[in-house]
């Protein structure tokens, strides 16, 4: 008997046929209204749910799906999935750790280059017929700090170190003995030691506002912030104040608190680079992401260990 997957995500549509080719029946519900209707109409048919961190799956929704056995989250973050409710039912949760790490790391370095070299404004002014040859900081040789050294953080570190001769420092809960980078015991101490701080840690309550006003002050008037993780990790209001007041040189952001809304204060600043949560999106990343979901589902329904379990 084929298994039924409720698909809540809207970013990997081109590769969902990989699931159908593997024998899964899909119920697609990429909007809040379709999601509610699908759960009400097909509750007893659903064996698995495919979601992403910000979309999550609530305790009430888990309770409403009596045959739900596994929740697959694309991407590394799973902050809006109710892990306690899943654990209480014995439901397995997996994530997409590493599947889109290359794409996110590429985007992070692109944002570093765009921010420091002021590429968006240079492009815009040239298109207006201007010839503003502004002197911008070099990227090579800068001190890069990474908040969170998982698959994405490691991919960013590799590119920055080998491609741009940057020294790499990081903060995570514990130091990693398998990397040649410098560990700092807090975001504050890390920010004080680097020129560029890249946020690459999952979202959720445990990481909320790790980058706050004191951290931004430590990063300083010549420091740059790049966030390709979750907006909740950064205190947005404190960041806007620092950017507007010259206490922070610039910020490149791919994530925002109330997506798709972007604060007007950020759009009005000349020292920001803003992209619409696309760091992890590429054809290659989407294919790898869905392939990992297929492999996790196949392993689970065959009674084998899943590849990327989320521990509660």
**Which are the catalytic amino acids?**
230, 259, 277
Q: What does the alpha-carbon distance between residue 195 and residue 278 come to, in Å, rounded to a whole number?
A: 24
Residue with tokens 């300083």: 220
Which of 4, 83, 17, 89 lies closest to 50, judged by CA?
4
- Using an 8 Å Cβ cutoff, are 111 and 156 in contact? no
- Using an 8 Å Cβ cutoff, are 103 and 275 in contact? no
Say how many C-beta atoms besides its own lie within 10 A of residue 41's C-beta.
Answer: 11
Phi, psi angle pair for 253, to nearest 5°? -130, 130
Task: Give helix 151-164 / helix 101-116 axis angle, nearest 10°.
Answer: 50
226, containing H or E segment: strand 224-227
* Bridge partner list, 144: 168, 196
7, containing H or E segment: strand 4-7
Which of 229, 172, 237, 179 lies closest to 204, judged by CA?
229
Residue with tokens 């996790």: 296
Distances (CA, A) of 47 to 16, 203, 295: 17, 27, 16
* Bridge partner list, 72: 50, 94
Structure tokens at 183: 């560990």
* Bridge partner list, 171: 147
Phi, psi angle pair for 9, to nearest 5°? -80, 160
């Amino acid at each position: 008997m084929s298994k039924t997957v409720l698909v809540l995500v809207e970013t990997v549509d081109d590769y969902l046929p990989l699931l159908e080719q593997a024998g899964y029946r899909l119920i697609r519900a990429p909007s809040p209204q379709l999601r509610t209707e699908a759960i009400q109409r097909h509750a007893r048919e659903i064996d698995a749910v495919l979601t992403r961190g910000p979309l999550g799956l609530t305790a009430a929704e888990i309770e409403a799906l009596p045959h739900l056995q596994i929740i697959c989250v694309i991407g590394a973050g799973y902050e809006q999935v109710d892990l306690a409710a899943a654990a209480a039912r014995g439901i397995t949760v997996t994530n997409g750790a590493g599947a889109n790490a290359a794409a996110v790391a590429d985007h992070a370095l692109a944002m570093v280059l765009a921010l420091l070299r002021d590429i968006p404004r240079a492009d815009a002014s040239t298109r207006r017929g201007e010839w503003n040859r502004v002197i911008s900081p070099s990227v090579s040789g800068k001190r890069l700090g990474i908040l969170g050294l998982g698959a994405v953080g490691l991919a960013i570190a590799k590119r920055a170190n080998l491609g741009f001769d940057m020294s790499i420092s990081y903060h995570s809960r514990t130091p990693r003995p398998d990397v040649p980078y410098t560990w700092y015991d807090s975001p504050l101490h890390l920010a004080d030691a680097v020129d560029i701080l890249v946020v690459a840690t999952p979202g959720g309550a445990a990481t909320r506002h790790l980058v706050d006003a004191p951290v931004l002050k430590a990063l300083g008037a010549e420091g740059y912030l790049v966030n390709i993780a979750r907006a909740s990790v950064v205190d947005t209001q404190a960041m806007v104040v620092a950017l507007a007041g010259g206490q922070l040189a610039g910020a490149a952001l791919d994530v925002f608190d109330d997506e798709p809304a972007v604060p007007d204060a950020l759009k009005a600043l000349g020292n920001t680079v803003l992209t619409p949560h696309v760091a992890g999106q590429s054809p290659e990343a989407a294919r790898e992401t869905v392939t990992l979901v297929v492999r996790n589902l196949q392993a689970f329904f065959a009674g084998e260990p899943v590849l990327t379990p989320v521990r509660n």
